[in-house]
């Protein structure tokens, strides 16, 4: 299986000559193919910066990113965004002027990997799996928040990415919708495991979804703690009240809360 992501000593400094903001410092992380890895930390800790570096929207000033044994990014090597590291964006990036079916199938069609008929069928299958039927002909504006997020996830998966990058995708959803969409995501993951790189500020979400949860410190962003979430799959909402879950939450909670307080006190705003 593809999608082994290796981050070696990644660093990012914004405006080195001027305000010299150290967003990332010496981040090293080995993500196994098919692993669901969640980065959790307070706002402004640099997790989005890390995701952008992997996606190719931003360049590292130090360190390297390897994918499946190939060097993708380093300070000297510019990484371009691409469908192999497809992103699901925080505030949603479904093209509002195209219908859902077009949004979802445009990736493979434009890359020439599927015919229109194949793409349509695959799209309908995926959409059905996340509980969306018959919405292909609608425009995104007509959908609810939860529906839009699911469509965007389907759009990403349609591209067969090696790594699926999710940038706090459920942040804007209310708690109830969020739990439904989280379950759908887990179902997709169970059906067809792939490497998922998920960032969030929500600790419960992190533990619920992850194979491994990584706590990041606030600026400069480093790795504070990594924990294996050994709760067996498939998981459902009952997991949230299991003793293992609560124990993990206690373990990580203290670490996160510390960082959150530091971020709060220094008035951090989000980067990027």
Partner 1 sequence: MSGAQSDVRGSAAAPAVRPGTLFARLRRWVKGFSALNILLGVISLGSIACIWEFAGPLGIPMVKEVPPPSEVLASARDLVVSTQYWKGWLLSFQRIGIGFAIAQLIGIPLGLAMAINRTSFNSIFPIVEILRPIPPVAWIPISIVFWPTREQSVVFIVFLGAFWIVLLNTIGGASNIDRVYKRAALSLGSNSWDLFWKIILPATLPSIVTGMAVGMGISWEMVVASEMIAGDTGLGYLLWQSFQNNALAQVIVLMFSIGFAGYFSSALIRTLGRFATPWRQLK
Partner 2 sequence: MASEPTITKAEKQHGKTPAVIRLWRLARSPAFYQGLLGVAVFFLLWYVLVDLIGLWRFSGLPKLVGGIEEWLSPDPVFGVSIFTAEYYRHIVASLFRVFSAFFAATILGVAIGILMGWRRVFFGLTFPILEVLRPIPILAWIPLAIILLPGRELPIIGLTFLAAFFVTILNTLLGVQAIDKVYFRAAQSLGFTEWQTLWHVIVPGALPYIFVGLQIAMGACWFSLVAAEILSGSAGLGYKVWETYYYVQFPTMVSTMATLGFFGYISSALVRIAGHRLMRWRANVLAGV
The footprint of partner 2 (CB under 8 A) covers 55-57, 80-83, 85-87, 89, 91, 93, 95-98, 106-107, 110-111, 139-142, 155, 159
Measured from the CB of residue 41, what is the shortest distance to partner 1 in angstroms? 16
Q: Which candidate, 199, 207, 193, 197, places its Cα nearest to that of 239?
A: 207
At 23, is the secondary structure helix, strand, or coil? Answer: strand
Whole-number Å distance between alpha carbons of 73 and 83: 16
Q: Is 271 left (phi over 0), alpha (psi -120 to 50) or beta?
A: beta
Q: Which does 130 bind (CB under 5 to 8 A by kind): partner 2, partner 1, none?
A: none
CB of 204 to partner 2, least distance (A): 27
With CB cut-offs between 5 and 8 Å by kind, which of partner 1, partner 2, none does residue 14 bind?
partner 1
Q: Is 272 in the site for partner 1 (CB under 8 A)?
A: yes
What is the maximal distance between C-alpha atoms in the chain? 55
| Pattern 2-41, partner 1, x by CB under 8 A | ------------xx--xx-x-x------------------
The residue among 125, 145, 146 whose CA lies nearest residue 136 is: 125
Structure tokens at 149: 């997020």
- Which residues of this protein are in contact with partner 1, per CB under 8 A? 14-15, 18-19, 21, 23, 44, 219, 266-269, 271-272
């Amino acid at each position: 299986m593809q999608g082994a992501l290796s981050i070696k000593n990644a660093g990012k400094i914004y405006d080195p000559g001027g305000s010299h903001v150290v967003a990332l410092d010496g981040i090293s992380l080995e993500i196994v193919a098919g692993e669901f890895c969640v980065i959790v930390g307070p706002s402004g800790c640099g997790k989005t910066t890390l995701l952008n570096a992997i996606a190719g929207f931003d360049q590292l000033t130090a360190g390297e990113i390897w994918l499946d044994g190939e060097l993708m990014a380093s300070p000297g090597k510019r990484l371009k965004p691409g469908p192999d590291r497809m992103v699901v964006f925080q505030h949603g990036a479904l093209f509002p002027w195209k219908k859902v079916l077009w949004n979802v199938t445009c990736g493979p069609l434009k890359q020439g990997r599927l015919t229109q008929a194949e793409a349509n069928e695959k799209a309908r299958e995926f959409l059905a799996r996340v509980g969306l039927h018959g919405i292909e002909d609608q425009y995104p504006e007509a959908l609810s928040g939860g529906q839009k997020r699911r469509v965007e996830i389907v759009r990403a998966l349609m591209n067969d990415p090696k790594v699926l990058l999710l940038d706090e995708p459920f942040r804007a959803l209310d708690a109830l919708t969020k739990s439904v969409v989280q379950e759908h995501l887990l179902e997709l993951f169970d059906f067809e495991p792939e490497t998922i790189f998920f960032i969030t500020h929500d600790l419960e979400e992190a533990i619920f979804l992850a194979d491994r949860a990584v706590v990041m410190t606030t600026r400069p962003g480093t790795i504070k703690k990594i924990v294996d979430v050994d709760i067996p799959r498939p998981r459902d909402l009952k997991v949230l009240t299991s003793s293992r879950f609560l124990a993990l939450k206690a373990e990580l909670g203290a670490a996160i809360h510390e960082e959150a307080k530091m971020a709060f006190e220094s008035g951090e705003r989000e980067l990027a």
